[in-house]
């Protein structure tokens, strides 16, 4: 099918984009970024925005800047920017390892990091990264600027704390200490499909004990999030089979699983347990636990 008729706007400055959004959001105006989620749902007529505000020509939204301990990712930065490490150390390596799970190459050339967060599909990989690393999200609207934590940002299935007249201008990820270890694991039916469950484990070792553990989940619940119950079990423990199994089981028990006709809640729980275990093992493989 073809999209329903809409008016197309192509602002060149952030001020114009925010102004148009403030004016047109009440008339069902929407931001167009990479178009890799919005255009298909418009083609199916699941969305019929009256106005599209295309941000692809807006100056100042294409920055990918590592500065003052933070990686700032502008609203025009495509998934493909992360095919190679854009920042030294574990954060760059993590983004490079995760991006390959997102859809297929042509989609990664167009789709944007911030668009993925704004769309808030529960199975989006960048959502898990943002939640696990407690990303800060910069929203610009007619009423000014808001800084949101990932925890406050993700509200549910395709639901965020962004107001209809707000532009997600930038996502900010902390640059991780050099000794940070990470592991990412995802289960999907076919390569490039959305995940049925995924886990990101991030930790350091201090004197042989786990420090600063972060366990983030996606695809399993309505929104990505950190799982405190699993992190508590890991903190201060020596890495190894028993504690990794216990943390995986705690994560599986902690979720409120999404269910669909093909995947019941119990199956998703089991997937979560398996993904958390794999992610932890990738962070600390046997024989590399110290
Ligand atoms: P758009 O499609 O342009 O916009 C999506 C929504 O977000 C719209 O409502 C739009 O108004 C809003 N929006 C976008 N940017 C902003 C902004 N800066 N501020 C405010 N609102 C904004 N994604 C995955 O994560 N994993 C996958 O495995 C995956 N598989 C896919 C497979 C296929 C076949 C397709 C077509 C897509 C897939 N995607 C997947 C989605 C893809 O990653 C999209 O690029 C992403 O979800 C949206 O980014 P976008 O820039 O294309 O946003």
pLDDT at 193: 81
248 in the same domain as 200:
yes
**CB burial readout 233-268, b (16+ within 10 A) else e:** bbeebebeeebbeebbbbbbebbebbeeeebeeeeb
Report the C-alpha gap between 55 and 13 in whole angstroms. 9
Nearest CA to ligand 1 atom 4: 38
Lining ligand 1 with CB less than 6 A are: 30-38, 40, 75, 102-103, 107, 111-112, 114-116, 118-119, 121, 124-125, 162, 167-168, 194
Question: 133-143: per-residue pLDDT in tens?
Answer: 999 999 999 88
Please state, in angstroms and as integers, the Cα–Cα distance from residue 125 to each residue in 62, 94, 100, 209, following that order: 20, 11, 10, 28
Which domain, by its residues, includes 136? 64-174
* Average pLDDT estimate for 193-216: 96
pLDDT at 7: 98
- Confidence bin at 82 (pLDDT 50/70/90): very high
229 in the same domain as 191:
yes
Report the C-alpha gap between 40 and 228 in whole angstroms. 36
Choose the residue to mutate in 3, 6, 8, 33 for probing ligand 1, maximizing ligand atoms within 8 Å of C-beta: 33
Residue 288 lies in a domain: no
Q: What is the pTM of this model?
A: 0.97
- How many CB atoms neighbour CB 15 within 10 A? 12
* Mean pLDDT of the chain, nearest integer: 96
* CA 159 to ligand 1 centroid distance, Å: 13
152 in the same domain as 201:
no
CATH number for the domain spanning 12: value is 3.30.43.10
Report the C-alpha gap between 107 and 190 in whole angstroms. 16
203 in the same domain as 274:
yes
The string of DSSP letters for 203-222 reads EEEETTEEEEEEEEEESSSS
Run of H or E residues at 94: helix 90-99
* CA 36 to ligand 1 centroid distance, Å: 5
Question: 96-150: per-residue pLDDT in tens?
Answer: 999 999 999 999 999 999 999 999 999 999 999 999 999 999 999 988 999 999 9
Q: For the chain, what is the domain count?
A: 3
Question: 232-281: per-residue pLDDT in tens?
Answer: 999 999 999 999 999 999 999 999 999 988 889 999 999 999 999 999 99
Closest C-alpha among 122, 115, 140 to residue 25 = 140
Residue 98 lies in a domain: yes
Locate the ligand 1 atom nearest the alpha carbon of residue 192 and give its number.
Answer: 28
């Amino acid at each position: 099918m073809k999209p329903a008729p809409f008016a197309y706007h192509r602002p060149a400055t952030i001020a114009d984009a925010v102004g148009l959004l403030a004016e047109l959001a009440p008339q069902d105006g929407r931001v167009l970024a990479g178009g890799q989620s919005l255009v298909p749902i418009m083609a199916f007529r699941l969305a019929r925005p009256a106005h599209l505000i295309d941000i692809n020509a807006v100056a100042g939204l294409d920055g990918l800047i590592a500065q003052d301990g933070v990686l700032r990712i502008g609203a025009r930065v495509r998934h493909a920017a992360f095919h190679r490490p854009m920042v030294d150390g574990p954060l760059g390596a993590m983004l490079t390892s995760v991006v390959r799970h997102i859809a297929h190459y042509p989609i990664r050339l167009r789709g944007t990091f911030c668009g993925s967060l704004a769309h808030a599909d529960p199975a989006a990989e960048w959502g898990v990264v943002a939640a696990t690393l407690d990303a800060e999200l910069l929203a610009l609207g007619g009423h000014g600027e808001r800084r949101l934590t990932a925890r406050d940002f993700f509200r549910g299935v395709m639901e965020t704390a962004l107001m209809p007249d707000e532009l997600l201008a930038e996502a900010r990820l902390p640059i991780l200490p050099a000794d940070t270890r990470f592991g990412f694991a995802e289960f999907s039916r076919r390569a490039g499909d959305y995940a049925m469950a995924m886990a990101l484990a991030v930790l350091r070792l201090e004197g042989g004990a786990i420090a600063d553990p972060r366990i983030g989940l996606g695809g399993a619940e309505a929104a990505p999030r950190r799982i405190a119950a699993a992190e508590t079990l890991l903190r201060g423990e020596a890495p190894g089979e028993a504690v990794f199994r216990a943390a995986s089981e705690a994560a599986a028990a902690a979720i409120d699983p999404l269910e669909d006709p093909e995947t019941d809640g119990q199956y998703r729980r089991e997937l979560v347990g398996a993904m958390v275990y794999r992610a932890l093992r990738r962070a600390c493989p046997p024989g590399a636990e110290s």
